[in-house]
Amino acid sequence: MPALPAAPTLPARVAAGGVGGGWRPMPAPVPTATLAPPPVVAAPMPAAYPVAPAPTPSVDASVEAYSRALGLLRERRVPEALRAFDTFLADHGNSPRAAAARYWRAEALYVLRRYGEAQAAFDAYLVSHPRGDRAPDALLKLGLCHEHMGDRGAALRTYERLRREYPSSVAARLASREDA
């Protein structure tokens, strides 16, 4: 085996304490100024932190339920539409669309030829929304329900009420044909 080279030796003057003579310890640093940690400055506090509003669904649940029920009625899936309007009114009875849902529920009953129930539903709509957007149509259908149930006198009184309360409505013109 080959011999390893010998460890290098320090020059005599370095080994003796350095270039300038003996070994001397380095003096400790003398602080020139006492440094204190920087003061902690709190960020200014606003009077109240703004609170982000809760995320809202893209479509309100009541709008979605109403649209679904009305869509079923338009597709002539009347029994399903009736159930959907019942569910809507049970879940969202105070919704801005509740009046319209009550009217369309009554229409669904009329289309299903459930005239007694339709009459009660149109009456209920008229009691709760006497000046509602669909009041003239509800009166016309109420009169037609009376006719289908054989009460011509009640039908004529309803048509007269319709012409008196909503004389310029399309429903009033249609009622004039019905009592002729």
Q: How confident is the model at residue 136 (pLDDT cuts 50, 70, 90)?
A: very high
pLDDT the model gives residue 37: 65
Say if residue 72's pLDDT is above 90: yes
Domain locations in the chain as residue ranges: 60-112, 113-180
Closest CA to 84 of 99, 62, 116, 58: 62
Query: Across the chain, what does the average pLDDT equal?
Result: 83
For residues 138-164, give the mean pLDDT. 97
Say if residue 165's pLDDT is above 80: yes
Say if residue 133's pLDDT is above 60: yes
Q: Which of 10-24, 41-55, 110-124 has the highest mean pLDDT?
A: 110-124
Tokens representing 10?
A: 């320090």
User: Is the C-alpha dihedral spanning 108, 114, 119, 124 positive or negative?
Assistant: negative
pLDDT the model gives residue 40: 66
Closest CA to 90 of 75, 101, 76: 101
Say if residue 89's pLDDT is above 70: yes
The topology (CATH level 3) of 113-180 is 1.25.40
Say if residue 1's pLDDT is above 80: no
**Residue 82 burial (C-beta neighbours within 10 Å; 0-12, 13-18, 19+):** buried
Q: How confident is the model at residue 57 (pLDDT cuts 50, 70, 90)?
A: very low
